[in-house]
């Protein structure tokens, strides 16, 4: 069949300058009409390929010292820093919405070249873990394992006198942090510093201290991205000099992402992660295809969150519609789990 055999209403024929058509002209073949399955909401729901639910989310939480603290984060509207005493109520809200997990980022009382509070028994994250596991034992508690928020230089590892990151020496600190978090009750530890060998070092330390049950969610593929800006304000983790391009991945590379993921799989990671999400949907898809045996997380990061919040505040888009569309796109690309600051709002919308 050719286009010439299609029929149009007379008014359309007139606009197109088409000659009158005979009543016997062949219509578009009725056997091939994809729109049939889009006709009603029930039909669309029945054939939907990607289903987004609150169980897909992990909610990031910033925790700091003090009492009765709920401090707004200016660059992340709707997000706050919380003191530990505020966490039980927040944890119950998260659980009641159907979100199964949280991840903690701590702001220490003091910073130093090593980040001593990072692995102190009474460190801020250790206190947060104990408080939440006491309040909502079923909630999965994940902890970020890195140095940047705790060190006075703001980098992800120990430094030599010239300011270069000491990879192998840093592994010892990361192992101590992971064990400290596990001892406090963490279900999952999530090393985020992109140090070579971090998963193997943490796995050995956890197993050696009797925490073989604690899982590792590795930031296996973390790019040196400009989308982290609001997070660095929230967590007070910006580097005092230089940047993180020496250890985080070049945004131009995807084959390297597969290599990084393969190394972490071999070292014993229980989850893989790609961070950020939106500019790296192709990377999420590639990692998912190459390593289907492991759950894949994607981090819908602070800059991605802030962009949508700013556009919504200006009336430039429908926030609910675009947030759910964005999260669905991340899952459709291959993410099994999404770390997102939208988690509570999105879960509430999905539960309606």
CB–CB of 302/341 below 8 Å?
A: yes
Catalytic member of 111, 275, 309, 331: 275
Q: Which two tokens stand for residue 293?
A: 């045996």
Which residues of the chain form beta strands (DSSP E)?
57-64, 70-72, 80-83, 101-107, 140-145, 188-191, 215-222, 271-275, 296-300, 337-340
pTM for this structure? 0.89
Element (H, E) at 89: helix 87-96
User: Residue 252: exposed, middle, or buried by beta-carbon count in 10 A (0-12, 13-18, 19+)?
Assistant: exposed
Q: Distances from the Cα of 73 to the Cαs of 63, 236, 269, in angstroms?
A: 12, 11, 32
**Residue 331 is a catalytic residue:** no
Q: Is the peptide bond before 146 cis (omega within 30 degrees of 0)?
A: no
Neighbours of 16 (CB within 10 A): 9
The total number of residues shown for the chain amounts to 352
Architecture (CATH level 2) of domain 57-268: Alpha-Beta Barrel (3.20)
What lies within 8 Å, CB to CB, of 117 at 6+ separation is: 106, 108, 109, 110, 123, 124, 150
Q: Tell me the CA distances in angstroms from 243 to 88, 163, 246, 263, 294, one per residue in order.
A: 36, 11, 8, 24, 31
Catalytic residue among 133, 222, 309, 331, which? 222
Distances (CA, A) of 69 to 62, 63, 87: 11, 9, 10
Measured on CA atoms in the order 139, 145, 148, 151, is the torsion positive or negative?
A: positive
**Does residue 99 sit in helix, strand or coil?**
coil
The torsion angles phi and psi of 141, rounded to 5 degrees, stand at: -110, 120
Walk along the chain (352 residues) and give the pLDDT tens digit of each residue. Answer: 444 445 566 666 667 666 655 555 566 777 888 998 999 999 999 999 999 999 999 999 999 999 999 999 999 999 999 999 999 999 999 999 999 999 999 999 998 888 898 999 999 999 999 999 999 999 999 999 998 888 888 778 888 888 888 999 999 999 999 999 999 999 999 999 889 999 999 999 999 999 999 999 999 999 999 998 887 777 666 665 546 667 889 999 999 999 999 999 999 999 999 999 999 999 999 999 999 999 999 999 999 999 999 999 999 999 999 999 999 999 999 999 999 999 999 999 999 9
Where do the domains of the chain lie?
3-45, 57-268
Strands 80-83 and 57-64, how do they pair? parallel
Residue 275 known to be catalytic: yes
Backbone angles phi, psi at 110, to 5 degrees: -140, 155
């Amino acid at each position: 069949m050719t286009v010439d055999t299609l029929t149009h209403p007379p008014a359309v024929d007139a606009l197109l300058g088409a000659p009158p058509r005979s009543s016997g002209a062949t219509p578009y073949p009725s056997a091939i009409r994809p729109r049939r399955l889009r006709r009603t909401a029930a039909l669309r729901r029945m054939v939907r390929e990607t289903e987004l639910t609150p169980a897909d989310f992990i909610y990031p939480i910033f925790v700091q010292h003090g009492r009765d603290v709920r401090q707004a984060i200016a660059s992340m509207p709707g997000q706050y820093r919380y003191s530990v005493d505020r966490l039980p109520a927040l944890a119950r809200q998260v659980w009641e919405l159907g979100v199964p997990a949280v991840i903690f980022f701590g702001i220490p009382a003091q910073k130093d070249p090593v980040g001593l509070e990072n692995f102190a028994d009474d460190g801020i994250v250790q206190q947060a873990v104990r408080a939440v596991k006491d309040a909502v034992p079923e909630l999965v508690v994940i902890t970020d394992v890195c140095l940047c928020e705790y060190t006075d230089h703001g980098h992800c590892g120990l430094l030599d006198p010239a300011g270069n990151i000491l990879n192998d020496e840093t592994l010892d600190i990361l192992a101590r942090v992971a064990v400290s978090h596990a001892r406090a009750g963490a279900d999952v530890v999530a090393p985020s510093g992109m140090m070579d060998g971090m998963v193997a070092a943490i796995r050995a330390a956890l197993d050696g201290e009797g925490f073989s049950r604690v899982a590792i969610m590795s930031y296996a593929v973390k790019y040196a991205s400009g989308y982290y800006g609001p997070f660095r304000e929230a967590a007070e983790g910006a580097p005092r000099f230089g940047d993180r391009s020496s250890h985080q991945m070049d945004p131009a590379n995807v084959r390297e992402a597969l290599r990084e993921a393969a190394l972490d799989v071999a070292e014993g990671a229980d989850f893989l992660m790609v961070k950020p999400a939106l500019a790296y949907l192709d990377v999420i898809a590639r990692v998912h295809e190459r390593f289907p045996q492991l759950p894949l997380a994607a981090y819908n990061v602070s800059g991605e969150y802030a962009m949508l919040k700013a556009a919504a505040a200006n009336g430039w888009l429908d926030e609910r519609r675009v947030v759910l569309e964005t999260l669905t796109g991340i899952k459709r690309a291959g993410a099994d789990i999404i770390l997102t600051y939208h988690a509570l709002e999105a879960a509430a919308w999905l539960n309606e």
